[in-house]
Amino acid sequence: MIELWWLGQSGFRLRDPAGGPRVFCDPFLSIDDARAWQAPLDAADLAREADVVLVSHQHVDHFDQPTLRAAAATPGSHFTLVVPRPLVPNALGLGFAAERVVGAEPGAHLSASGVSIWPVPACHGVDAADAYNFGEALSDGLVRYLGYVVEIGGVRVYHAGDCIPYAGQVERVRALRPSIACLPINGRDFFRESEHNIVGNMDFREAARLASDLGAEVMVPMHWELFQTNRGYPGDLVSYAAQAFPALSVLVMGRGARITILE
């Protein structure tokens, strides 16, 4: 059993409603006038609630450094911060003690606060000019963009971070047997890349196909409605999945919604 709390963009809190550690994935909590809605938590809440915080890559809507800096300085803050290995110096610069920061890399299983975590590569970019790859050229051969498979309450969740499909992805992630796939659906196009320097993601068709190929029972779309210049359309996803992958359930979460899934 697992509860998903959507915090906006790709941010989630994952926990077992029966108790145990609380894992936050890409919590983007900073107040921003450009957001369609503000996050239901702030840095003090993160410091109080989080046992583990997973960061997929360095963009501010995933690696919210102002929020993490404030959380690190909050009395009682205790969570382990997991970041791609090339971002460890950035994390330490936020005021975290070295023992609270874990540099993740694909293929290296992690355990933090009793939670099993499997980092997997994500195909993305820092800027449109250097996308789409794993960021190894920018990081001395290290993978710079990650997704994570997390097990809580006996349920495994794949949080893809920002990513497009790539060769070998299905085989790698399917072997970890996630039953829930949280995937971006905002897509990518020439105009967003050339006019706004937005490195895009998989679109709704690719996400539905990927979730089905992974053997996931439930797909949760993310990264689709927080900023007007970078939208996706979950209605199109639902229609397409119903026609192309009728065994796949699609869960479109409302703003700030908390939903429990029984395994």
Q: Using alpha carbons, select from 190, 159, 180, 129 the residue that is nearest to residue 57.
A: 159
Q: How many domains does the chain have?
A: 1
Sign of CA dihedral 135, 225, 72, 119: negative
Crossing angle of helices 234-244/204-214, nearest 10°? 50
Instruction: CATH number of the domain at 235, please.
Output: 3.60.15.10
- Residue 132 near residue 140 (C-beta atoms within 8 A): no
Asked if 259 and 253 touch (Cβ cutoff 8 Å), the reply is yes
Contact yes or no for 122/134 (Cβ under 8 A): yes
For the chain, what is the largest distance between any 2 Cα atoms, rounded to a whole number of angstroms? 51
Give me the tens of pLDDT residue by residue for the chain, a chain 263 residues long: 999 999 999 999 999 999 999 999 999 999 999 999 999 999 999 999 999 999 999 999 999 999 999 999 999 999 999 999 999 999 999 999 999 999 999 999 999 999 999 999 999 999 999 999 999 999 999 999 999 999 999 999 999 999 999 999 999 999 999 999 999 999 999 999 999 999 999 999 999 999 999 999 999 999 999 999 999 999 999 999 999 999 999 999 999 999 999 87
The pTM for the full model equals 0.97
DSSP 3-state of 88: helix
CA distance 104 to 84: 5
Coil, helix or strand for 224? coil
State which H helix or E strand residue 210 sits in: helix 204-214
Q: Helix, strand or coil for residue 4?
A: strand
Please name every residue paired with 259 in a beta bridge, in sequence order, or none if there are none: 4
Q: Rounded to whole angstroms, how far apart are CA atoms 113 and 128?
A: 36
Instruction: For residue 155, give its domain range.
Output: 2-261
Confidence (pLDDT) at 262 = 87
- Dist. CA 215–CA 151, nearest whole Å: 16
